[in-house]
């Protein structure tokens, strides 16, 4: 008999969980995203934050990186410290991961888990694997 394995099981109080979904959530991550949506957490992505901003097209990749960091920083420090979240599309680079680590440390907030989807930057995946936060999403397992 096969049962569905919940990738978010054992995370304690779900409303305070802080979860990163790296890479593409469109390809193969649909089940994971559906489970994440079922949690009582704020779902955030830089592209949705940018949609709320009036912005000009960045003149360079560096300007785009600065803009992305500024948008996510504004959201991160405006939220209640004990509120949980599911953050997608960020961090996309090792620099963004290190900056997010600093923000988390500043507020003394640990991440609950990190899931890597298709297209995840390998250096970011390795960073969270080294920290012991990377989890493997599972679908069905034999019971």
How many Å apart are CA 43 and CA 36, to the nearest integer? 8
Whether residue 143 has pLDDT greater than 60: no
Residues 92 and 45: beta-carbon distance below 8 Å: no
pLDDT digits (tens, 9 = 90+) for 75-96: 999 998 888 898 988 999 999 9
- Of 141, 88, 81, nearest to 118 by C-alpha is 88
How is the chain split into domains, by residue range? 2-142
pTM value surpassing 0.75? no
The mean of the pLDDT values for the chain is 76
Architecture per CATH, 2-142? 3-Layer(aba) Sandwich (3.40)
Whether residue 122 has pLDDT greater than 80: yes
pLDDT digits (tens, 9 = 90+) for 11-32: 554 568 888 888 876 545 566 6
How many Å apart are CA 70 and CA 92, to the nearest integer? 14
Helices 122-130 and 94-106, axial angle in degrees (round to 10) = 40
Supply the DSSP string of 52-64, one letter for each residue.
TS--PPPSSHHHH
When mean pLDDT is compared across 34-38, 86-90, 116-120, the lowest value belongs to 34-38
How many Å apart are CA 101 and CA 18, to the nearest integer? 12
Whether residue 131 has pLDDT greater than 60: yes
């Amino acid at each position: 008999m096969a049962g569905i394995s919940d990738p978010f099981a054992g995370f304690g109080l779900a409303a305070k969980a802080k979860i990163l979904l790296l890479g593409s959530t469109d390809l193969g991550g649909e089940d994971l995203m559906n489970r994440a949506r079922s949690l009582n957490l704020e779902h955030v992505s830089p592209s949705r934050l940018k949609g709320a901003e009036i912005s000009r097209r960045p003149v360079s990749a560096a300007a785009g990186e600065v803009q992305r960091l500024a948008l996510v920083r504004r959201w991160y420090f405006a939220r209640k410290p004990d509120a949980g979240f599911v953050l997608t599309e960020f961090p996309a680079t090792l620099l963004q991961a290190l900056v997010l680590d600093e923000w988390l440390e500043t507020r003394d907030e640990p991440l609950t888990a990190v899931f890597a989807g298709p297209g995840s930057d390998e250096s970011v995946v390795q960073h969270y694997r080294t920290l012991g936060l990377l989890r493997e999403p599972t679908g069905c397992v034999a019971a």
